[in-house]
Amino acid sequence: MVFDGHSDVLYDVTRLRLMGETHVLERLHRDRLCRGGVEGLVLALWTSAAQGQTFWETVPEADSDAARTRIMMDAAAAELAECPWLRVVHSRAEAEAARAAGQLYAFLGVEGMAAIGEDLTGIDRYADWGARLGMLTWNEENALAAGAGGDPEKGLTDLGREAVRRMQARGMVVDVSHLSDGGFWDVLELAEGPVIASHSNCRALCPVPRNLTDDQLRAIRDTGGVVGLNVYHGFVHTDPAGQTARTLALHAVHMAEVMGVEHVACGFDFCEFFGPGNEGAEGLEDCSRIGNLFYWLEQLGMTLAERRMIARENFLRLL
């Protein structure tokens, strides 16, 4: 069984509910989650994107990050009310109780906090909503930090440093997957507990800004954190021929060698429903095919105990 530490299905839920559809998770996602062995996941609240790349431009009232965030929160609440088979949880104990009751479970997360602007009480609203982990930025630069799509030398602003302190005070795990390199190291200086990169791979195997250097992997290890493997093809290999489930398994092996296997997790970031250009690596086209990754981990010599740690134990231990 698998715990996926980063899922964007709330994007699909919001898009389709705004078109008048209901029971989106039940109709379009539940079967694939079950076939992939997913017992639980982190549902990400993500409302940022470059112009022209999402459905939001067709929604007249969604003209700001704050407006889009309110719309997605409302859509998520309405959708989850239709899913008695899926329980929102806030701790491992609640997750295990849901599992024992035959339910899937979901933690809530925030993928970018541009919506709060300069008002840090927005972090309290995220925490009150139930978010257990959060990222200061997506790929953009905002009032809190520079993202992975910007200047790697820029890091957290003074306000961003206060935001990290506030997140930690509210029990939210800080997620560095979309931060610039400068922002990464600023967060590590402020860390009072585990820091995660929920959906990033290894820069040593695929040198793109969204992946992590070996020094960054070791720094996350030293906080007690985890790094979640990401299926997105462009983060697996720069050569299309190498964008495969086997190559992603090699990222896991490299992480285990650098950090120790107890710090490797899953954060798959499946987003095939975003449209062309968002494909997962070959063999990992959607969540129903997660088993292919674990097949290759076994072929590469990982024991059953190690595979179970990566599949669910490491992330759940942290949460």
At 60 the pLDDT is 87
> Token digits for 284?
């990992």
Is the CA virtual torsion 163, 168, 172, 175 positive or negative? Answer: positive
Mean pLDDT of the chain: 96
Judge contact between 75 and 14, C-beta under 8 A.
Answer: yes
* CA angle at 30 for the pair 24 and 32, rounded to the nearest 5°: 120
Which among 94, 170, 77 is positioned nearest to 127, based on CA atoms? 170
**pLDDT beyond 90 at 49:** no
| Average pLDDT rounded to a whole number, residues 220-227 | 98
Range of the domain at 246: 2-318
Provide, rounded to the nearest whole percent, the portion of the chain with pLDDT above 70: 99
- Displacement of CA 59 from its chain's centroid (Å): 25
Provide, rounded to the nearest whole percent, the portion of the chain with pLDDT above 90: 93
pLDDT in tens, 185-220: 999 999 999 999 999 999 999 999 999 999 999 999
| C-beta atoms surrounding 104 within 10 Å | 19
Confidence of residue 179 (pLDDT cuts 50, 70, 90): very high
Alpha helices, DSSP H only, in 224-272? Answer: 233-236, 245-259
Is the CA virtual torsion 129, 3, 287, 217 positive or negative? Answer: positive
Number of domains in the chain: 1
The rounded distance, in Å, linking the Cα atoms of 304 and 297 is: 9
Rounded alpha-carbon distances, angstroms, from residue 215 to 179, 180, 185, 211, 238: 15, 14, 10, 12, 21
| Average pLDDT rounded to a whole number, residues 38-58 | 87
Confidence of residue 51 (pLDDT cuts 50, 70, 90): low
At 271 the pLDDT is 93
- CATH of residue 184: 3.20.20.140
Which residues fall within 8 angstroms of residue 239, CB to CB, at 6 or more apart?
none
The rounded distance, in Å, linking the Cα atoms of 34 and 286 is: 12
